[in-house]
Structure 1
């Protein structure tokens, strides 16, 4: 239905005004005189109904100006070849609500798709960004699997879930993204996302228990030396890093890992209890040294059938599926907000810290053992759906949009954007209340009233549009910052390059080098002082000594405003 013109609206308003000025108006005659619809005039006069343009639908979370500002931001992002995903649109809608009078309110899970349907630009549609990944295929003898589950049930009989572990590695290609849908008007450009499908591989070794516990990870980089730039970010001290020629776990690293596993899980074992470690058939897990250390520590190694781990191993289920999904989504965000800058070795550890806690939750770890029929042992979960051969492994869907950790909240915006806009919005409301009072004055002309009404509407739109732009800049800066650090090629000295080290050891080595260089610099400055002041009786003092001997300066109220050097 076509929208009424300004002239038609004016005639309706004049007819309503005239009808209400009469005690007993003849609505039929008035409708003919002004050329307006009789039923419309009757509803507006007799039932006192407001026009649809004045009624805000009750199911709209954002008002007209807020939606207009959000649409303006979406089109601007699309024009800049950064089309937003539905999840990002939802985050920005919640950020808009956070800036208004309802900071605790959020849009529903399907709000984005309803908003997209009524989006004014008909060229904007959800379009898929495709990244193709290969899937492993395999076949299995069901009777052999039933036999393996019988052996597993005997091995786990009476064993507490805190004693049942699974150890495995997964590979990440730095910069690899994932398929996602974006809201865009472009058919081709929006289907491309900066990604590095053949990026350098990093191996992460994880170990989880059936009760939801997880061990500190081992991150294996391809190379020969540990680089100082890897540890520029804030990382847990107990994380372990290592280097390998091809970026895969090797026999020596597997031996070092089983020793760390023994130390970290020793306090979870009571007297006469045995730990069960489920591993795949990788050669590094079955060397004499590996098995010998496990036997001495009373750790029973239980293997999976060959070529069946993708169906049986707990870590190969939802834990690693979620791991990869969050990793690729993180890289999509880096590509989206970082201006095409992809992850590097230096930023990988920082990125890993952001998505590991989301992917390897205690609940996901517990369910991983249950979903594969490991604990409690249940062969029917895997074997019953099979008919002589295993089908293609399930590609588990990880719904990142419904994860609580990805729900938009205060962490979406920086502290300044989180606090300042809400205060500014109060100022906007204050101005609007002041200006709204002018509309009721009798000396204001209809033209002035119309102009003032437009100002009130546009004021909120421009406020939200400006806030969205500021938030976009802040989000880009947040993703760019870890990747814009100057990457040095300085090696970490004093530590074995062919072994496994902890983050705290790497930090200690870097701090020792900084101290040594500072001492060397002070000696150089002392020589320069002596050379430039040969007859001076004042000895050279370092910056630390100056700070220690400086006297504080106070203002009138007694506050320290600086320090005064006595020399």
Structure 2
């Protein structure tokens, strides 16, 4: 029978890497003998001697073959990975391995025929535990470009001036944020418990959008939701199951507009704000959507002693409290409510009549006192603190800033400014990051003069900004709208010398055919001119075929012009003749010339 060991074998490597480093420095700098230093710091004598004699790299912390890249070379690579991730252009697993292989080839430690493998990747990630594989959140490029250090700093300077002007630095109950949130009848299923690796979840079909106007103050008080349904007539059934104080209206699109926003402020917002009288000013913060920036809204605000402050354009993901801390939890709660509703109710679909009760529960839970206070704190509004906006939140904008002529791309992140001791790695990553300089040059252009550039990050109730808004709107009205010119006016070719301009009129293309919408001959023209005989079909003597007169959808009618000498009549293809297609260089004769008419 085997005897139990009295002194079992000691565990591998009982010393710390720091002790080995201190022992190595004692031998090198203090000239201690290897044996004395090993005994003093509790490290193996042979291991210390191998490092002193240069047989093993002093920075080695694990046994086995040495890593392909030195610790300094890997450190430069890690800083490059971090910088690219902060800019929003991080590497995936396969891209990181490819980049490391090119890096090793550049340093002369590998050739093109022997790239690095997944095994190297796993060892590399073990050596650098600060790196992790994560799923990044999507960030639209114009949001990344807009959220720059300069714009955020200017925003906080203007916000501080607005708070001091109305003496609201210590009055959170008078600082409000309002924002829209769109919800669908189709929801994203939550995580569920099941035995299979993949399983379906029943959802309702997407029908129409419903908008919620939500609001809360920095003290944590929420204002009841205001719903905007898609439709033409408001029904009381749409608000069934609503929480107390909930109101709503309808629009054709289900989105808010300037009239709805003004109605919300006047009939809903004022009803629930916390202030003793209108002598106490309020600060209302919102984004720069065009429905918020209107002269009636500004006049309403001045009448009721409300200061309107507009966030910088495309920065709501960082600076708007409701977006930062409330609407994300609200969407998750709404998804869970919809999932539970479909399971517990006989109906297997969610309609707009069910949206209000489901969304009210989510709204009440998500816009809690804790969430609203935390949201205002995370955005630096109350307590007023610009420092809460981290540099990592602003880092993606650096890819769109035009550097100074002598500025090196490595100045974008601080880590590379300290990596000048290794010229080879620095040169490699300078080439790898050249696309950032190209992107900076490509994205740099003069901003358009829009209403957003005037009100972005400013109080629009101030006289100066209000005057600029009035001037801009008057200039916009005096200029022809570019959107109204999107519909091109084309002429119907005819044998006469005069060609009338018509909206949606047919014009021959390369195949000598023309296409037009199925139009009503009575009302679909923007001009009041009558359609002449030359513009009608020579067979049915109508501009629109009889078969399409009661059609309610968009249908394109094909025309062809007769090639008979001195004729030039236009005819509906398919409806008024036997041919349905006329191709390039084909001859076509209208039904007026039966003796020469031939089928295709």
TM class by shorter chain equals 0.3 to 0.5
Q: Higher RCO, 1 or 2 (CA under 8 Å, sep at least 6)?
A: 1
Normalised TM-score (structure 1):
0.42
Normalised TM-score (structure 2):
0.40
Larger Rg: 2
Richer in helix (by share): 1
